[in-house]
């Protein structure tokens, strides 16, 4: 019997899919979905005796040819999934992607020799709470189904699952006597729900979340959670955190009701969320109802619960005894309902509010959970600012090394392959309580290669050798049609864009295109700068890779019919143009600041910048992955009325622009999407240029300009989309005919 130390009981069985009558129907259904012509070619077997290394506590698999069939054996369901993935990628040379799956296994060739593997870590975690707002807020079942198959094949066995939370929460509030009117003032829209769940914000600023949407997400959540279990994953399920509507005090006034701190400058009505502290008896009662109801609705599928009370919030007291009592009451509330409960929390708070969370306070808080295996901490930004080191491996609590990478779903090309491979292997050798690896990007918007690499590293005890790995990845991604120029391009990308070693650029850069114009302060970087606007590589190097991809598409136009290639060429072209905005902006400001400058020189520089942005919009319109209209379609598809359509569209647009009623986090979640670039960012830049033409450095009034821009931004947010709904233009023709791109090339 394989031994495990983190979980017990049903949670363990759900997590590892271990022997004893566990069905392989889930992976068989995956094959039927993705490889319908070859269902009779595969055989799956769960066994403890996968290899001679049967003493391993990790998931193992073996793939071999048996009587003309492909037999996959593993110690767990997740191992079976990964074994199938090993066959698909190593033998059949195929794969599945967010950006377009290619699973033509060309007759399902038998492996010439046995394939085997074992996970490097016990747990492979995926998602950030905010990903459910930045990326998947409006996903359909079809999108979730692809995502779950993608996760399963890569061996993820501990995914976060928030869908349906609001329905259980509403039921819990109703249980203690609250009315729907009281509850509705608390819930936030889909684009901002993550921060409502964290207790950062409450309510909406453009209407009320429809209960029909709450019910729809509940039904979707049951399907998602069920599929996760079917595929051998343990869903990390929500718990009651303690955040309650303002009116809660009217039905239960308690000394344990406190207002959380303000978040990011939001107005009082939308922040200072009311927290029912875990020390209150009512907290335990509501926790019991919440988890009991959740298990009734979703099944007894997991004992791992996500619960964050102080995400970017300052606790009511810094006293060690208070912090310890808070954590102790929290875990006890979970254990009272589920004796196997494991409390999972994000460790982001210890970095974000480092001045409050001294080591003494962290230790006091964590000591409230007396059994180290009853807590699981996500070291959320391990690749840049790991907190496990200063906290002595979270004072021996179980923790997961995580790769954050991206803030707000920004779309710049970016990676650090050394940190994605070498660092987690080195870390595992230094910390006995590191029990997993995770991907915790804020938004799953691009750079798919980096997430594939991190999840592959979770199945290798030694650092992945990235040169050969990238070449193999590119060949599969483009259906075996990766010519020499394509492979050369990816080698350049590997050693530049995806091998960042500049500590001043620690995350995906935000394009200057999407930043609100100003005469200074736009070019930012620094070791704690989560959204730098400078790049860490020579832009000429990227242009060289881009030329090679264009050359490959020119010689073989069929490449453009391969969705991932079209996506990647669009994305690299996007980045080439985004990089070009930096010198164009510098030229504009230099011309304006020059005492000898004329309006003509400012106008010329401004025209150049606008040409780059306009070309970017045209390029993006060639691919649906880069179109605002696509995401609006997804958002309004969830609506049951015209008013709900307007509500959801505003949610989407406000998130990627103003991010708040008054632009509290303006441009944080900005996206380079067709339509958004042309109708929003380009207009802002033109307004800025026009304003510069009317002023000098001595007469420029930033407040006046910012007021004009703010009025435009608010008006744009409130208007319904009226632009194109489908792609337009040919990417290669636009590239070849563009004056801007010819100059860059």
Query: Which DSSP string do the residues of 228-279 spell out, in sequence order?
Result: HHHTT---BEE---SEE-TTHHHH---TTEEEPPP-TT--GGGSS-EEE-TT
Signed CA dihedral, 547, 673, 152, 479: sign only: negative
Which of the two residues, 101 and 171, has the higher pLDDT score? 171
The C-alpha torsion from 66 through 70 and 76 to 82, rounded to 10°, is: 140
* pLDDT average, residue stretch 416-428: 97
**Do 167 and 282 share a domain, yes or no?**
yes
134 domain residue, yes or no: yes
Enter the pTM of the model: 0.96
* pLDDT average, residue stretch 238-265: 96
The total number of structural domains in the chain stands at 3
Q: How confident is the model at residue 48 (pLDDT cuts 50, 70, 90)?
A: confident
188: domain CATH number? 3.20.20.80
pLDDT of residue 388: 98
**Do 112 and 129 share a domain, yes or no?**
no
Q: Tokens 């899919």 — which residue? A: 17
Cα 533–Cα 657–Cα 692 angle in degrees, nearest 5: 65
617 domain residue, yes or no: yes
**H helices within 154-232, ranges in order?**
165-175, 180-184, 193-197, 211-230
**What tens digit of pLDDT does each residue of 134-163 get?**
999 999 999 999 999 999 999 999 999 999
Q: Is 9 helix (H, G, I), strand (E, B) or coil?
A: helix
**Do 103 and 134 share a domain, yes or no?**
no
Q: What is the C-alpha to C-alpha distance for residues 422 and 649, in angstroms, rounded to an integer?
A: 42
Give the Å distances, CA to CA, from 675 to 95, 134, 725: 31, 19, 10
**What tens digit of pLDDT does each residue of 686-722 get?**
999 999 999 999 999 999 999 999 999 999 999 999 9
Residues 6+ apart with CB under 8 A from 76: 16, 17, 18, 46, 59, 157, 232
Q: How confident is the model at residue 35 (pLDDT cuts 50, 70, 90)?
A: very high
Q: How confident is the model at residue 53 (pLDDT cuts 50, 70, 90)?
A: low
622 domain residue, yes or no: yes
Q: What is the largest CA-CA distance in the chain?
A: 83
Q: What is the C-alpha to C-alpha distance for residues 281 and 286, in angstroms, rounded to an integer?
A: 9
13: domain CATH number? 3.30.379.10
Q: What is the C-alpha to C-alpha distance for residues 481 and 34, in angstroms, rounded to an integer?
A: 21
Crossing angle of helices 77-86 and 141-153, rounded to 10°: 80
Which pairs from 706-713 meet CB under 8 Å and 24+ separation? Answer: 709/516, 709/517, 709/684, 710/663, 712/683, 712/684, 712/687, 713/657, 713/658, 713/663, 713/666, 713/680, 713/684
- Residue among 287, 226, 220, 275 nearest 248 (CA): 275
476 domain residue, yes or no: no
Q: What is the 3-state secondary structure (H, E, C) of 74-98?
A: ECCHHHHHHHHHHHHHHHCCCECCC
**What tens digit of pLDDT does each residue of 608-638 get?**
999 999 999 999 999 999 999 999 999 999 8
Q: Which of 409, 435, 464 is the last residue of a domain?
A: 464
Residues 6+ apart with CB under 8 A from 142: none
**Do 109 and 184 share a domain, yes or no?**
no
Q: What is the C-alpha to C-alpha distance for residues 257 and 198, in angstroms, rounded to an integer?
A: 16
CB 363 within 8 A of CB 377: no
Q: What is the C-alpha to C-alpha distance for residues 692 and 439, in angstroms, rounded to an integer?
A: 43
CA 671 to chain centre: 14
Percent pLDDT > 90 in the chain is 92
Please give the order of strands across the beta sheet that includes 60-66.
42-46, 69-74, 60-66, 115-118
Residues 6+ apart with CB under 8 A from 165: 197, 221, 238
The C-alpha torsion from 352 through 355 and 358 to 362, rounded to 10°, is: -30
Q: What is the C-alpha to C-alpha distance for residues 591 and 519, in angstroms, rounded to an integer?
A: 12
Cα 194–Cα 280–Cα 264 angle in degrees, nearest 5: 30
pLDDT of residue 21: 67
Q: How confident is the model at residue 57 (pLDDT cuts 50, 70, 90)?
A: low
Query: 666 — phi, psi (to 5°)?
Result: -50, 130
By the 10 Å C-beta count (0-12 exposed, 13-18 middle, 19+ buried), 44 is classed as buried
**Do 151 and 25 share a domain, yes or no?**
no
Q: Which of 101, 118, 135 is the last residue of a domain?
A: 118
pLDDT of residue 50: 84
**Do 410 and 511 share a domain, yes or no?**
no
Q: Which two structure tokens, joined as six digits, stand for 187? A: 């819930």
**What tens digit of pLDDT does each residue of 368-379 get?**
999 999 999 999
Q: Which two structure tokens, joined as six digits, stand for 292? A: 């009991």
Q: What is the C-alpha to C-alpha distance for residues 382 and 269, in angstroms, rounded to an integer?
A: 35
* pLDDT average, residue stretch 313-321: 98
pLDDT of residue 56: 55
708 domain residue, yes or no: yes
**What tens digit of pLDDT does each residue of 93-114 get?**
999 998 877 787 888 999 999 9
Q: Which of 63, 90, 118 is the last residue of a domain?
A: 118
541 domain residue, yes or no: no
Q: Is 42 helix (H, G, I), strand (E, B) or coil?
A: strand
Q: Is the pLDDT of residue 18 over 50?
A: no
Q: Which residues pair with 238 in a beta bridge?
A: 306
Q: How many CB atoms lie within 10 A of CB 273?
A: 27
Q: How confident is the model at residue 12 (pLDDT cuts 50, 70, 90)?
A: very low
Q: What is the C-alpha to C-alpha distance for residues 394 and 434, in angstroms, rounded to an integer?
A: 10
Q: Tokens 């829209």 — which residue? A: 189
pLDDT of residue 52: 54
**Do 374 and 519 share a domain, yes or no?**
no
703: domain CATH number? 1.20.120.670
Domain limits at 163?
123-464
**Do 621 and 720 share a domain, yes or no?**
yes
Query: Which DSSP string do the residues of 297-351 spell out, in sequence order?
Result: HH-S---EEE--S-TT---S---HHHHHHHHHHHHHHHHHH-TT-EEEEETHHHH
Radius of gyration of the CA atoms of the chain, in A? 26
* pLDDT average, residue stretch 594-613: 90
**Do 130 and 114 share a domain, yes or no?**
no
469 domain residue, yes or no: no
99 domain residue, yes or no: yes
**Do 130 and 112 share a domain, yes or no?**
no
**Do 129 and 105 share a domain, yes or no?**
no
**Do 450 and 317 share a domain, yes or no?**
yes
């Amino acid at each position: 019997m394989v031994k495990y130390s983190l979980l017990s009981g049903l949670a363990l069985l759900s997590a590892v899919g271990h022997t004893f009558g566990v069905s392989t129907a889930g992976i068989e259904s995956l094959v039927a979905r993705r490889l319908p012509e070859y269902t009779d070619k595969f055989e799956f077997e769960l066994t403890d005796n996968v290899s001679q290394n049967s003493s391993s506590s990790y998931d193992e698999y073996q793939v071999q040819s048996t009587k003309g069939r492909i037999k996959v054996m593993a110690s767990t369901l997740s191992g079976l999934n990964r074994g199938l993935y090993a066959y698909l990628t190593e033998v059949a040379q195929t794969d599945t992607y967010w950006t377009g799956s290619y699973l033509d296994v060309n007759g399902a060739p038998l492996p010439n020799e046995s394939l085997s593997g074992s996970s490097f870590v016990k747990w492979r975690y995926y998602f950030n709470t905010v990903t459910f707002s930045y990326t998947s807020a409006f996903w359909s079942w079809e999108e979730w189904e692809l995502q779950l198959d993608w996760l399963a094949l890569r061996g993820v066995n501990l995914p976060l699952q928030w869908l349906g939370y609001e329905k259980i929460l509403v039921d819990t509030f109703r249980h203690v006597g609250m009315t729907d009117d009281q509850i509705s003032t608390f819930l936030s829209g889909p684009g901002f729900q993550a921060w409502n769940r964290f207790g950062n914000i409450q309510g909406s600023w453009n209407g009320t979340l429809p209960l029909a949407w709450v019910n729809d997400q509940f039904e979707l959540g049951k399907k998602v959670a069920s599929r996760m279990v079917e595929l051998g994953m343990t869903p990390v399920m929500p718990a009651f955190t303690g955040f309650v509507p303002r009116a809660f005090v009217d039905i239960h006034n308690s000394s344990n009701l406190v207002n959380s701190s303000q978040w990011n400058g939001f107005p009082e009505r939308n922040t200072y969320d009311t927290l029912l502290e875990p020390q209150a008896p009512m907290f335990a009662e509501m926790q019991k109802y919440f988890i009991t109801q959740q298990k009734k609705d979703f099944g007894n599928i997991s004992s791992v619960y996500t619960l964050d009370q102080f995400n970017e919030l300052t606790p009511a007291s810094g006293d060690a005894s208070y912090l310890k009592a808070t954590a102790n009451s929290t875990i006890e509330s979970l254990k009272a309902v589920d004796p196997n409960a494991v409390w999972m929390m994000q460790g982001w708070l210890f970095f974000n509010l480092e001045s409050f969370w001294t080591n003494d306070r962290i230790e006091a808080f964590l000591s409230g959970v007396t059994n180290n295996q009853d807590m699981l901490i996500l070291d959320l930004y391990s690749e840049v600012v790991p907190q496990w080191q200063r906290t002595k491996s979270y004072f021996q609590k179980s923790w997961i090394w995580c790769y954050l990478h991206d803030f707000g779903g920004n779309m710049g090309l970016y990676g650090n392959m050394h940190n994605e491979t070498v660092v987690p292997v080195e870390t595992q050798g230094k910390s006995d309580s590191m029990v997993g690896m995770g991907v915790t990007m804020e938004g799953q918007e691009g750079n798919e290669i980096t997430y594939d690499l991190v999840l592959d590293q979770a199945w290798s005890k030694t650092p992945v050798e990235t040169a050969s790995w990238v070449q193999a990845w590119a060949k599969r991604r483009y259906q075996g049609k990766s010519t020499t120029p394509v492979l050369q391009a990816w080698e350049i990308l590997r050693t530049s864009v995806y091998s960042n070693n500049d500590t001043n650029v620690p995350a995906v850069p935000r394009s200057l295109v999407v930043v609100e114009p100003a005469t200074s302060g736009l070019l930012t970087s620094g070791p704690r700068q989560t959204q730098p606007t400078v790049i860490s590589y020579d832009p000429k190097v990227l242009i060289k890779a881009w030329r090679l991809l264009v050359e490959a598409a020119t010689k073989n136009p069929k490449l453009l019919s391969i969705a991932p290639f079209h996506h990647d060429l669009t994305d690299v072209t996007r980045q080439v143009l985004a990089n070009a905005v930096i010198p164009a902006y510098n030229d504009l400001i230099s011309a304006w600041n020059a005492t000898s400058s004329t309006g003509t020189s400012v106008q010329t520089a401004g025209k150049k910048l606008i040409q780059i942005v306009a070309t970017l919009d045209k390029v993006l319109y060639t691919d649906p992955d880069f179109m605002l209209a696509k995401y609006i379609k997804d958002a309004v598809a969830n609506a049951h009325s015209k008013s709900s359509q307007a509500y959801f569209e505003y949610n989407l647009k406000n998130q990627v622009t103003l991010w708040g009623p008054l632009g509290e986090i303006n441009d944080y979640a900005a996206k380079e999407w067709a339509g958004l670039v042309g109708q929003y960012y380009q207009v802002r830049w033109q307004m800025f240029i026009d304003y510069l033409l009317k002023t000098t450095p001595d007469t420029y009034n930033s407040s006046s300009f910012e007021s004009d821009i703010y009025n435009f931004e608010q008006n744009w947010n409130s208007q319904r989309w009226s632009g194109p709904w489908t792609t337009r233009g040919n990417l290669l023709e636009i590239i070849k005919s563009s004056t801007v791109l010819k100059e860059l090339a």
